[in-house]
Amino acid sequence: MCFNERTGELYIADAYLGLHKVGPEGGVSTPIATHAQGVTVGFTNGLDINHSDGTIYFTASSSLHQRRNYISLILSGDRTGRLMKYDPQSQQVIVLLENLSFPNGVALSEDGSYLILAETTYCRILRYWLKTSKAGTVEVFAQLPGFPDNIKRSPRGGYWVAMHTRRRMIIGWIISNPWIGNALLKLPIDIMKAYAVFSKYTGSGWAVRLSEDGDVLETLEDMIGNRIRSLSEVQEKDGVLWIGSIAMSFLGMYKM
């Protein structure tokens, strides 16, 4: 979710219903983008707003797999993910990047010259240039030792990246060989339930703050136990980190 600071409108990337908007007074949301280039948006995921002109940049993780089957998305080697932008003036959706593997969180740079997005399957952050002579090109911004989720700018500079879990050797091996993942998906087991059991032993929740150059500035990790795991978002405000998780039924708060 992200507020438009100028209008007070709340924009929501709904994993099943596409891009939605809620007015400044609240109430029922309205859909504003459900298709792009004739294809259903699909598994809508992260978004950010250019507050100067209202343009919304958002990701769709897959057009084949739904949110509830995100492990199948990774194991199958799905590359139907897209990075898109919504122009509130023309009400048109434009595809900026295609053939991405689980694109996730997205954040616009402070000067608006580029945006970064998480490509979760490959444990990396990509930088897509919007301005300068590099406009329209993409490059690897940071390679991480785990699976990144949402990205939020830090008021102290750089970006907070929430990490779902670390990339264990066996997981990396499976991802590097998609035929193994597809073979696992054909087994008579519920892959999501199997992963739920496995994830309890993959470590506690953590996040990293990256610099404007992609270097790690800080690392936050629950070293005491497994109280917070599968982090999905870290938002910094007034010396406090607000922490979301897809696995926990509460909001975490860490005073810096």
Kind and range of the H or E element at 182? helix 178-185
130: left (phi over 0), alpha (psi -120 to 50) or beta: alpha
**b vs e for 156-165, b when ≥16 Cβ sit within 10 Å of the residue's Cβ?**
eebbbbbbbb
Compute CA distances 111 → 53, 115, 143, whole Å: 13, 10, 23
Q: Which of 22-26, 92-96, 195-199 has the lowest mean pLDDT?
A: 195-199
Residues 42-70: tens digit of each pLDDT: 899 999 999 999 999 999 999 888 888 88
Kind and range of the H or E element at 96? strand 92-100
Residues 120-159: tens digit of each pLDDT: 999 999 999 999 999 999 999 999 998 999 999 999 999 9
pLDDT over 70 (residue 99): yes
Higher-confidence residue: 196 or 64? 64
pLDDT over 70 (residue 173): no
Higher-confidence residue: 1 or 39? 1
Cα of 223 vs its chain's centroid, Å: 24
Query: For the chain, what are the domain ranges?
Result: 2-255
- Residue 191: pLDDT band with limits 50, 70, 90: low
Mean pLDDT, residues 196-216 taken together: 79
Average pLDDT over the chain, rounded to whole? Answer: 88
Assign a CATH topology to domain 2-255. Answer: Neuraminidase (2.120.10)
Query: Cα–Cα distance between 82 and 102 in angstroms, integer?
Result: 9
pLDDT over 90 (residue 86): yes
pLDDT over 90 (residue 169): no
Q: pTM, whole model, 2 decimals?
A: 0.88
pLDDT at 46: 95
